[in-house]
Amino acid sequence: MALTETTMQEILSGYAARRQQHETERDLRVAEIYRQIPEVAAIDEEIRSFGLNAIKGYLQSGHDAAKSLSELRSRYEHLTARKQALLRSNGFAPDAMEIHYTCPICKDTGYVDYEKCSCLKQRIVQAAYDHSGLPNNLKKENRQAFDPAIFSDEPYQNEALTPRQNILNNLKVVEDAVAQISAGGCRNLLFTGTAGTGKSFLSSVMANELLSLGKTVLYVGSYDLCAFFDQEHFGERARKAPSALSAEAIEACDLLIIDDLGAEFRTSLSYTSLFHLINQRLQNEQSTVLSTNWWIPELKELYDERFVSRILGGYTIVRFFGLDLRVTKAIAGNSSNR
């Protein structure tokens, strides 16, 4: 899990604010109870003075500590029972004078014995989702949503596998990569193939599986990423990049998915930045998925030999082919409407 410092600080200050709010609510309830039942206030006052009474009792009992302690204990039990009875008869809940934590396990601190509480872990996963940049329509794509039957099982052009056999192979590659990355390893994949052949779907499956395992994923279109590089360099004069994008997030994420590589508006600066980013993640053993509608020879023309050979050296090439699913879906939809 590598959330950015900023995000982690936001989460923890959220915890502090929540604690503060619950304490204030408790204080207000207590004030109201004291106002309605003055005897409860008197009981609390007496309990607060127990420390002092203990010393007094000890002196009066002829320094018999056990005797004075047992007297104090039975007095305390009597007082708390009386207090509970008073609360009940006045229509208050038994725990009305206590703090009502959102998470009683960690008392809204996020930690139990220096370990992250399950509520904090959950919150971090949620934050990772919120900051993933994953489009909403892709957030529900997962292994369970996968239906290989929508891929044709007929031979396709000169391919040795049918599109369905191929997508099942690709799914296996993705599942292996998820296992490897979730275990702390590094895996880089290049998804290449024409539009509508399942690349976005498998990128989202990979993103969602890793997010649900508590890893951080950043999903960004190549166009937005290059706009971001330009904006970082040229400031306000450059094209507007999505506000969620930050250098910190790009650097910290466990998996970076760059979608639609080759569709970006490239300046020489954004090209250099892109190359540098891909290179750096390879060196740091941070996983990356590149997804592109172009085949390798076309990529060589779009970029250059150096760029493509860097990718070929560090990435597993995952090919997608077949008819455009969006088109076949639309055709199927139309014919079933008739």
| Residues in touch with Zn ion (CB under 5 A) | 103, 105-106, 117, 119
Which residue, 118 or 280, is less far from Zn ion as judged by CB?
118
> What are the φ/ψ torsions at residue 153 (nearest 5 degrees)?
-105, 15
Closer CB to Zn ion, residue 3 or residue 220? 3
Question: In the complex, what is the shortest distance from the CB of residue 27 to Zn ion, in angstroms, rounded to a whole number?
Answer: 22
* Closer by beta carbon to Zn ion, 57 or else 110: 110
Q: In the bound complex, what is the minimum distance in angstroms from residue 215's beta carbon to Zn ion?
A: 21
Q: Which is nearer to Zn ion, 23 or 285 (CB)?
A: 23
Q: Which is nearer to Zn ion, 105 or 195 (CB)?
A: 105
Inter-residue long-range contacts of 242-249, CB under 8 Å, 24+ positions, other chains counted = 242/133, 244/131, 244/133, 245/133, 245/220, 246/4, 246/6, 248/4, 248/5, 248/6, 249/4, 249/131, 249/218
CA 208 remoteness from chain centre: 10
Count how many residues are written for the chain: 338
Minimal distance, residue 105 CB to Zn ion, in Å: 5
C-alpha 7: how far from chain center? 10
Convert 151-178 into a string of H (helix), E (strand) and C (coil): CCCCCCCCCCCCHHHHHHHHHHHHHHHH
Nearer to Zn ion, 3 or 119 (CB): 119
CB of residue 22 to Zn ion, shortest distance in Å: 13
Q: Which of 285, 287, 292, 277 is CA-nearest to residue 193?
A: 292
User: What is the closest distance, in whole angstroms, from the C-beta atom of residue 109 to Zn ion in the complex?
Assistant: 7
Cα dihedral 185, 166, 291, 249 in deg (nearest 10): -30
Shortest distance, position 252 Cβ to Zn ion, whole Å: 24
DSSP for 303-330 reads: S-HHHHHHHHHH-EEEEE-SS-HHHHHH
Is the Cβ–Cβ distance between 30 and 93 less than 8 Å? no
